[in-house]
Chains A and B, each alone.
Chain A
Amino acid sequence: MVKEIERAGIPVVHIATVTPISLTIGANRIVPGVGIPHPLGNPKLSEENEFKLRKSMVLKALDALQTPIEEQTIFS
């Protein structure tokens, strides 16, 4: 799905925990997730810190979308 979005000319960032799989399927902009069952947060944290973590990850993803790249890049 990532490739088809990119092929259509829309910048896309893939947030995924197992980044080697993301590389294999051909995502170009990749942000590592926190954990497989909870890519965007850590349920062990308090609700407030958990939200802060998620927001920071989304910001990282938005940064990745605004970064020029030549090849597959993991933004960690």
Chain B
Amino acid sequence: MKKRVVHYINNFFAGVGGEDMAHIPPEKREGVVGPGMALQPALGDEAEIVSTLVCGDNYMGEKTDEALDQLIAWIKEEKPDLVIAGPAFNAGRYGYACGSLVKKVQEELGIPAFTAMYDENPGVDTFRKDAYILKVADSAAGMRSAIPLMAKFAKKILNGEEILGPDEEGYFERGIRVNYFHEKRGSERAVEMLLQVMAGKDPVTEYPLPKIDRVDPVPPVKDMAHTKVALVTSGGIVPTDNPDHIESSSASKYGVYSIEGMEQMSKDLFTSIHGGYDRQYVLENPNLVVPLDAMRELEKEGVIGELADYYIATTGTGTSTDNAKRFGEDFVNKLKEDSVGAVILTST
């Protein structure tokens, strides 16, 4: 009997519009849709994608429980042998959606499930311990190489084969240790490793330390009424002519823009160039992302000391964490020079 597979994708990959349709609730379609059309032949005759579940990333992000409950109910009906989500590449909300679903499928239904993402997708760190996440490229251009990888992994699971370590299978390390007998005992390996280090080589560690970059919370603001507050956003709000040519995704730069003397973010002066959300509301009212109108009123009321006469902006979607870190390291110097004592950072 053919094994049954349910595939989850977002509205974009289902061909249901772009960001303007990211609000759509879950839907269930018979058979293959979008990437499933390539995945099905790669799976061969042993498995069949019986249905494809689709949901808008915004709906999933905003009404996660409702969306997951509906999806889980449908998956339960289908009685699949495996659930595959994505690939989500470097799309953060999609990665979060895929990760949330595969986690819940395993926990609530006990059905194997996996997804696939790019290294820097925030979904990787959130869900790598909960599920297999295969390593794929950062954009849909990598679909061609992602499909065989996913199909191969799917077949292994469906055939009940042993899933080997992250390097062998190409998934993100899950922090799981499996005992096995090595041909050489530990003391021998340790001495070999030591000799390699002494020879100036770089041996591969057997126990990589986790790279967790956390910053301890700083003490709170003591006297807000005398503090200068600055606004920063990753929501892509820039002057209408986008003077710094900030990219609509995968930003390589940020901008500092004057709001001196302005009571609110005027839609005639500011726009959004962000390619990762439906901009219709923000184009009408940029204060939805850069809350200048509210800040000005609180400034007048004396709740804050003053508002910095500029805001800082970049586009968050697809932007590498290395770039984001570099932007931050760079603009904090300006914030410090200008005696900014608190920052509100808004993200879309």
Interface presence of A74 (CB below 8 A): no
Within 35-69 of B, Cβ neighbours of A (below 8 Å) are at 57-58, 61-62
Chain A interface (Cβ < 8 Å from any Cβ of B): 1-18, 20-29, 33, 35-41, 43, 51, 54-55, 57-59, 61-62, 65-73
Known A40-B288, A62-B304: A5·B332 in contact at CB below 8 Å:
yes
Within 270-323 of B, Cβ neighbours of A (below 8 Å) are at 277-282, 284-285, 287-289, 291, 293-295, 297-298, 303-304, 314, 321
Across chains A and B, the number of contacting residue pairs, with CB separation under 8 Å, is: 192
Interface presence of B193 (CB below 8 A): no
Interface presence of B343 (CB below 8 A): yes
Output the least CB separation between B124 and chain A (Å): 9
CB-contact partner of B342 in A11, A37, A68, under 8 A: A11
Q: Which residue of A lies closest to B59 (CB)?
A: A36
Known A11-B343, A14-B345, A17-B61: A4·B325 in contact at CB below 8 Å:
yes
Contact A12 B345 (CB under 8 A): yes
Contact A39 B61 (CB under 8 A): no
CB-contact partner of B235 in A5, A13, A39, under 8 A: A39
Known A3-B325, A62-B224: A36·B232 in contact at CB below 8 Å:
no
Output the least CB separation between A60 and chain B (Å): 10
CB-contact partner of A10 in B122, B216, B342, under 8 A: B342
Q: List chain A residues, Cβ under 8 A from B293.
A: 51, 54
CB-contact partner of B220 in A9, A22, A23, A67, under 8 A: A67
* Bound complex: CA A24 to CA B120 (Å): 11
Q: List chain B residues, Cβ under 8 A from A57.
A: 291, 294
Q: List chain B residues, Cβ under 8 A from A4.
A: 325, 327-329, 332
Contact B328 A37 (CB under 8 A): no
Contact B217 A21 (CB under 8 A): no
Q: Which residue of A lies closest to B330 (CB)?
A: A4
Output the least CB separation between B198 and chain A (Å): 36
Known A21-B96, A26-B213, A43-B285: A10·B332 in contact at CB below 8 Å:
yes
Known A21-B96, A26-B215: A13·B287 in contact at CB below 8 Å:
no
Q: List chain A residues, Cβ under 8 A from B141.
A: none
Query: Can you list 17 pairs linking A and B with CB atoms under 8 Å apart?
Result: A1-B324, A3-B214, A5-B332, A10-B335, A11-B341, A11-B342, A11-B343, A16-B346, A17-B61, A18-B61, A24-B122, A38-B282, A40-B346, A43-B288, A51-B293, A62-B224, A68-B219
Contact B217 A29 (CB under 8 A): yes
Contact B342 A65 (CB under 8 A): yes
Contact A15 B346 (CB under 8 A): yes
Output the least CB separation between A28 and chain B (Å): 4
Q: List chain A residues, Cβ under 8 A from B284.
A: 43
Q: List chain A residues, Cβ under 8 A from B342.
A: 10-13, 62, 65
Q: Which residue of B lies closest to A41 (CB)?
A: B288
Known A40-B288, A43-B281: A28·B217 in contact at CB below 8 Å:
yes
Output the least CB separation between B317 and chain A (Å): 11
* Bound complex: CA A2 to CA B343 (Å): 9
* Bound complex: CA A6 to CA B336 (Å): 12
Contact A40 B291 (CB under 8 A): yes
* Bound complex: CA A16 to CA B295 (Å): 17
Annotate B244-281 by CB proximity to A: 1 below 8 A, 0 otherwise.
Answer: 00000000000000000000000000000000011111
Contact A25 B122 (CB under 8 A): yes
Known A1-B324, A58-B294: A38·B232 in contact at CB below 8 Å:
no
Contact A71 B328 (CB under 8 A): no
Q: Which residue of A lies closest to B347 (CB)?
A: A16
Known A15-B347, A18-B96, A43-B285: A36·B22 in contact at CB below 8 Å:
yes
Q: List chain B residues, Cβ under 8 A from A17.
A: 61-62, 347-348
* Bound complex: CA A4 to CA B331 (Å): 9
Known A7-B215, A58-B295, A66-B221: A35·B345 in contact at CB below 8 Å:
no
Output the least CB separation between B288 and chain A (Å): 4
